[in-house]
Amino acid sequence: MKKNWIKIAAAGALAAGMVFAQTTPANSQAKTQPPAQTHSRFARRGMMMRHRMMQQLNLTEAQQHQAKTIFQQARQSVQPEVQQLKENRAAMRTAVKTDDAAKIQQLSARAGRLRGEIMAARASARAKFYQTLTPAQRAKADQMAARVHSWRHATGA
């Protein structure tokens, strides 16, 4: 029942967003500008959650700047691995279509290593960010993490 209400609320929010959405002007300047970067729904959800967390932790301007720098550096440092992972997925699709079991095994192992490197870099960035927090902010962050952890285990997410 709760999931249905969430779906209904999400549909309502989406409909309201569509009503208030504005189209871009069709002039020549708009055509020369690069298109806005699109993100997957998982990336958007992550960005919204980080934004909410930053607000609830009541970060100072300096902390916000440090956090932005830390996470941008982490994103840039994993770009080669992200690109390799994309190439790996394309190769995996080819291996699946040709039923090449050895290649599938090799690509799976490589994907695991790449994901591990990306995960380690992101965890390192979170650790650096955590060190910038005051003791009160750390306590608040720990409470928030505990809530997320309990929610995930309760819902099976």
Q: What is the pLDDT along the chain (157 residues), one digit of tens a residue?
A: 555 555 565 555 544 454 444 444 444 444 444 445 666 787 788 778 778 888 889 899 999 999 999 999 999 999 999 999 999 999 999 999 999 999 999 999 999 999 999 999 999 999 999 999 999 999 999 998 888 888 878 876 6
pLDDT of residue 7: 56
Q: Is 0.85 topped by the overall pTM?
A: no
Nearest to 91 by CA among 78, 80, 100, 81: 100
Q: How far is CA 73 from CA 39, 134, 155, in A?
A: 19, 22, 33
Q: Look at residue 17 and tell me if it is in a domain.
A: no
Could you tell me the residue range of the domain that residue 147 belongs to?
Answer: 61-157
Q: How far is CA 3 from CA 6, 10, 109, in A?
A: 5, 10, 36
Q: Look at residue 110 and tell me if it is in a domain.
A: yes
CB 63, CB 86: distance < 8 Å:
no
pLDDT of residue 34: 47
Tokens of 119: 């995960």
Q: Look at residue 88 and tell me if it is in a domain.
A: yes
How many domains is the chain partitioned into structurally? Answer: 1
Q: Look at residue 137 and tell me if it is in a domain.
A: yes
| Cα–Cα distance, 50 to 54 (Å, whole number) | 6
Q: Look at residue 15 and tell me if it is in a domain.
A: no
| Cα–Cα distance, 57 to 51 (Å, whole number) | 10
pLDDT of residue 36: 53
pLDDT of residue 45: 82
Q: Look at residue 111 and tell me if it is in a domain.
A: yes
